[in-house]
Structure 1
Amino acid sequence: MTTTIFATVEAKSEAIQHVEAALRGMIQPTRNEPGCVRYELFASEEAPGTFHLLETYADDDALNRHHQSPHFAELLASLANKLARDIQISRFVSILAE
């Protein structure tokens, strides 16, 4: 069964461009990870500086490998003191048979 994550990242007003660049930099390395099914970045039209990530992995092991990857560690380090609040993460399961 796949694992789907929806994450919301809110940048401080003075760090919006930095946060967006850091999140954009995650797209290709994450999509290249074994077990990554989907990784999409969205920017809110209503709330500048708010970004949403829709991520689907083949299973929890693939998600755990993502969280242990060097590019994920670099992202977290680069976001230090740049966020308006903690990253909000929700997990989802499909209600339709795969």
Structure 2
Amino acid sequence: MPVSNVTNIAFIRAKARQSEELGRRLLALVEPSRQEPGCINYDLHRSADDPDSWCVYENWRSAGDLAAHFALPHMQDFITRVPALVEGELDLRRFAMISTPAPWRF
């Protein structure tokens, strides 16, 4: 039986000389996003091959939780800064999780 969780993967390319600032802004989204109701995980990655290439991998309980995430002040503030930091458009890809999430092992 399918699980209703939603996965959002954002691929983001920094403008020239903006990668460190973009990374700082993206990292600032991690903790507040993890505290949101419905957030299963919210993780930031930087390419090992291209330091201007970033990826946010996030899982949410529902599409409604993800929509609420984008409406919150910390996300709205980031969205206003995107044109100065990001080359081109954000590449957002949404997936429906069909497996049961793996248990965390720490």
TM-score normalised per structure 1: 0.93
Segments of 5+ residues of structure 2 without an aligned counterpart are 102-106
Q: SS in structure 2 opposite 1:40?
A: strand
Match of 2:46 in 1: 43
Which of 50, 53, 57 is the aligned partner of 2:56? 53
1:3 aligns with 2:1: no
2:99 matched residue in structure 1? 96
Larger gyration radius, structure 1 or structure 2? 2
Instruction: Provide the rounded CA distance (Å) in 2 between the counterparts of 1:75 and 1:82.
Output: 10
d(CA) in 2 for partners of 1:6, 1:61: 16
List, as ranges, runs of 4+ consecutive aligned residues in structure 1 with deviation greater than 6 Å: none
Per the alignment, residue 104 of structure 2 pairs with none
**Structure 2 partner of 1:87:** 90
What stretches of structure 1 of length at least 5 have no aligned partner? none
What SS does structure 2 have at the residue aligned with 1:53? Answer: strand
Q: TM-score, normalised by structure 2?
A: 0.86
State the shift of 1:93 in Å: 1.9
TM-superposition CA deviations, 1:31-79 (whole Å, max 9, x none): 0001111100000011111100111010011001001000000111122
Q: Does 1:23 align with 2:26?
A: yes
Percentage identity across paired residues of the two chains: 23
